[in-house]
Structure 1
Amino acid sequence: MASERVTLTVSDPEGEREIALSSPNRLVWPAPSAGAGGITKAELAEYAQLVATPFLNANGHRPVSLERFRDGIEGESFFSKNPPKGTPDFVDAVTVTYNSGRRHPQIVFNRPSAIVWAVQMNTIVFHPWASLADDPDNPVELRIDLDPQPGTDFADAVVAAHGLREVLREGGLEPFIKTSGNRGLHVFCPIVPEHEFLDVRHAVIAAGRELERRMPDRVTMSWWKEERGQRIFVDFNQANRDRTMAGAYSPRSLPGATVSTPVAWDELDDVDPKGFTVRSIPERLAEVGDPWADLQAAPGRIDTLLEWWQRDVDNGLGELSFPPEFPKMPGEPPRVQPSKKVAENWDSNGDRVD
C-alpha cells in the first residue's frame, strides 16, 4: 500500500515551490515527552518554514551535515554529508576537503524549500560548518562549546559563558550565544575568513586556557574525561574542520523537541533551555525577533588570540589532543588515557615507541 503523502507549497526567493511530504502523520517526537499528541513530520515541516529566515541567516550558504531518523527520535539515526541520490536541483552542494584529505560534495541550504526537503528526508538535527560554501577552508565563525560535566548543570555553563564573554572581548571579538538544545551553551564569534581551521582552533585553545586560568574551579580544558572533574568542559575540538554542532534553530533529537536557540546576553541568566521547543520558537521569534540577526555584521579578527596562543607555546604549553578519527597531528600529546600512560612507551612527539 502506498504511503500517505501531502504536497506543501513553500515560498522561495525565486517563487513558490511544491514539496511532496511522505508520512506526514508519522510521530517524530512521540507523546508525552513532546506534549499532547506528540509532534508529527508535518508539524516539523511547518516549523522549518516558519523559522526559515533566521535558520538560513545562521546556517545557510555553507556545508551542512544532516542527522536523519527514519522512525523518529526513538529510532536509529545516521548522518548524511553527501547529497543522496535523487537530491533535487534546488538543494545546492559544494565540494569540501575532509581531514583525511578526501574531497566530496556536501549539502548547502540556500532557500526554504531545501530545508523542507531535508525534513522530508527525515532530518531532525542540522549540523552546519563554520565556513561558507564559497570559501569552505576558512571559517567565518570561532565556535566554543561549553559542555557541562557530571555534577554540573546549565546554570554552571551560564557562569562560564559570562566569563568567556569577557575573555573573548579582551581578545578583540564580539561573542554571540545560544543554547545547545540540551544542557550546554554554544558561543560563536563572527570572524574575518582569513585563517584556516587549525589556526582558529588554536585561537579557541588560547581563549579557553585564559578562561581556565581565571576560573580553575569552574572550567577545564582537559580532553580526557577522567581529568575534568565537576567543571564545565571548554570543547576546543569543535573548532576543527568537519566537526560540527547543532545549528541555530535546529531541533534536537531529545524528548521535549528542544531547539538550539540564540539568546541575548541580558536574558541568559533567566533562560530555561527546556522551554525552547519546536512549538515555542515561532512565537518567540514573533515576540522578540532573532538575537542573531546581525551575527555577521561586524566580523572580528583572531590576531590577539593567536598572540596568546604563541605566548602559551613559548611558555611550554603546546598542542592539545585531537579527536580520535583525526590523523595524528604535529606536536599532539599521546593518544592514551593519562591513567594508562606509561611514559617510556612514548617519544617527545607523542608517538608510540614500539
Structure 2
Amino acid sequence: MPAAIKGSITIEGQSVTITNPDKPLWPEQSITKRIYLEKLAALSPYLLRYLRNRLLTVIRYPHGVEGKSFYQKNAPEPLPPFIRTVIHEDINYISLDGLPGLLWLGNLAALEFHPSLHYAGSSLPCEWMIDLDPSREVEPRIMEATAIVGEVLKSLGLSSVPKTSGATGVQIIVPIKQGVTFDELRKVGHLVGRYVTEKHPGLFTLERLKKQRGDKIYFDYLQHYRGKTLAAPYTPRARPLATVSTPLTWDEVIRNVSPEEFHLLNIEERLRVMGDLIEQLPPQPIELVIAGLR
C-alpha cells in the first residue's frame, strides 16, 4: 500500500483520507491503524470476494479493541464518491466495490465485516453456512463438533469448508448454485441439527437461549437467513490477538487447531501458500438433498 501523503493515499485512482495512522487498534499485538490498513490491503483480494454486492454491516472501534464499539448498518456521512450504497428495508447499506472503500472503512476503525448472506437486490442465499456457537468462552471440543458435522454433510454427498469465526465458533460453508432458497436450506439444516444432537446429546444443542444451553455447542441453522449476517471469511475480529476468520482444511480440524492460531500478523503467508479454500470448492449438489426431503 502506498505511504500516506498529506493524510491521504491514492488507491485505484481514488484518494482515501487517512487519519491518526499511529493509533493503536490491537495494542496487545502492537497493531496500529497504519499496520491494519496494510493488512487489509493484503487481505482484500480474498475478503472483498465475500463483501462485494452484499449489504454490509461493520463494527467500529474508534479507540481500538479495548475501547467502546458500535454496529453500523447505515452508511456514515459524508460519503466519498467511490462508495456505493443500497437501500434495503429503509437502511442505506454500503455495498463495497473495491479496495478504496475497504480502506476508507478501515480508516474509520471498522474492525469487523459482517455481510448479508444474499446479494443486494436478491432474496436467494449466496452459499450455505451452518454456525457452531459455543456456550463457553473457551471450548476445547469445537473442532470435534466441527468434524462430526462435516462427516454428516459428507454422508449426504456434500463437501464443505470449515472456517473459524475468528472468535470462539466455527462456520461450515457449503458452496451452492444460485436458485436454492433460504427456507430450503433451513430444512436441511434442521435435519442435520436434529441428527447430531440426537447422536451426541452431550455436545450439541438446538436450544436458542444461551442461558438454557449449559456447556453445549449450539447448532445454529437459523442464523443463515434473509436479513441476518455472519462474519465474512477473512474478516479481522476485534479480539485481543487480532484473529481472522480463516477457512481450514479438514486435516487441521482433525488436528484440533485453535482459532487463535490465525491472525493479522500471519494470515498473508497462509494465503500465499494455501489460497482461498472456499473458492477452490465447486458448488455442491444440495438440490438432491432438498429433493429427498420433499
Deviations 1:63-118 (A, max 9, x none): 1111111111122111121222222232222333xxxxx34332112211111111
Deviation at 1:151, TM superposition (A): 8.6
Aligned mates of 2:239, 2:138 — CA distance in 1: 19
Deviations 1:119-164 (A, max 9, x none): 02220000011112252x11121111111223961x4111111111
Distance change (3 Å), C-alpha of 1:273 and 1:133: same
Aligned mates of 1:281, 1:72 — CA distance in 2: 20
Which residue in 1 is equivalent to 2:230? 245
CA contact 1:152–1:232 (8 Å) conserved in 2: no
Query: Matched residues, percent identical?
Result: 30
CA contact 1:171–1:305 (8 Å) conserved in 2: no
Aligned mates of 1:5, 1:40 — CA distance in 2: 18
Distance change (3 Å), C-alpha of 1:74 and 1:255: same
Give the 5 Å matches for 1:1-354.
6-10=7-11, 15-30=12-27, 33-34=28-29, 38-96=30-88, 102-135=89-122, 137-150=123-136, 153=139, 155-270=140-255, 271-295=257-281, 297-302=282-287, 304-305=289-290, 307-308=292-293
Deviations 1:261-293 (A, max 9, x none): 111222223323212111111122123322223
Deviation at 1:183, TM superposition (A): 1.9
Deviation at 1:306, TM superposition (A): 7.2
CA contact 2:65–2:239 (8 Å) conserved in 1: yes
Distance change (3 Å), C-alpha of 1:29 and 1:188: same
Unaligned regions of 5+ residues in structure 2, if any?
none
CA contact 1:142–1:204 (8 Å) conserved in 2: no
Aligned mates of 1:177, 1:197 — CA distance in 2: 20
Which residue in 2 is equivalent to 1:329? none
Distance change (3 Å), C-alpha of 1:158 and 1:75: same
2:67 maps to a residue whose letter is: G
SS in 1 for 2:125: coil
TM-score of the aligned structures, taking structure 2 as reference length:
0.89
Aligned mates of 1:302, 1:28 — CA distance in 2: 44
1:9 maps to a residue whose letter is: T
Aligned mates of 1:285, 1:219 — CA distance in 2: 32
Aligned residues: 289
Q: Higher relative contact order at CA 8 Å, sep ≥6: structure 1 or structure 2?
A: 2
SS in 2 for 1:52: helix
Aligned mates of 1:302, 1:57 — CA distance in 2: 24
2:69 maps to a residue whose letter is: S
1:110 maps to a residue whose letter is: D
Aligned mates of 1:5, 1:69 — CA distance in 2: 24
Aligned mates of 1:300, 1:109 — CA distance in 2: 30
Deviation at 1:182, TM superposition (A): 1.8
1:167 maps to a residue whose letter is: V
2:100 maps to a residue whose letter is: S
Deviations 1:8-62 (A, max 9, x none): 232xxxx4433111111111111xx22xxx1111111111110111112233221
Aligned mates of 1:209, 1:115 — CA distance in 2: 39
Aligned mates of 1:285, 1:152 — CA distance in 2: 26
2:7 maps to a residue whose letter is: V
SS in 2 for 1:282: helix
Deviation at 1:214, TM superposition (A): 2.3
